[in-house]
Amino acid sequence: MKKIITSLLALLGLAACSQQGYENTDVNAFASRIENQDVILLDVRTAEEFKDGHIQNAINIDVKQDGFIEEAKSTLPADKTIAVYCRGGRRSANAAEMLVKEGYKVVNLEGGIM
């Protein structure tokens, strides 16, 4: 029984480590991070949502559009941290996963701007 529990805990630990690769932050920590000039702010909502309001100085690249990664790679510097957000947190988490796979260091606003 002890071996089973140990194996399960090890498996859960590996799954938790491999899931993200990016940092989730709350609103206060996110606000603090984006004050740094070495951080690029990325809004991954639609262009219409972006026009309705966004965080100042944000770059808009819609994560649901074909070519998201190609546009991100041609727009976002690889040597900067990317602070990504959306409305509710799901799209930004998806974008964060994609960006991490491309070698970016990413901070995600957990729960989005709502």
What ranges do the domains of the chain cover?
A: 22-109
pLDDT tens digit sequence for 48-73: 999 999 999 999 999 999 999 999 99
pLDDT tens digit sequence for 11-48: 444 334 345 899 999 999 999 999 999 999 999 999 99
**pTM to 2 decimals?**
0.83
Catalytic residue among 86, 96, 106, 107: 86
Q: Is 17 a catalytic residue?
A: no
CB count in 10 Å sphere of residue 79: 8
Tell me the C-alpha to C-alpha distance, in Å, between residue 58 and each of 5, 20, 42, 54: 46, 23, 5, 7
Q: Which CATH number does 22-109 carry?
A: 3.40.250.10
What would the two tokens of residue 75 be? 């727009």
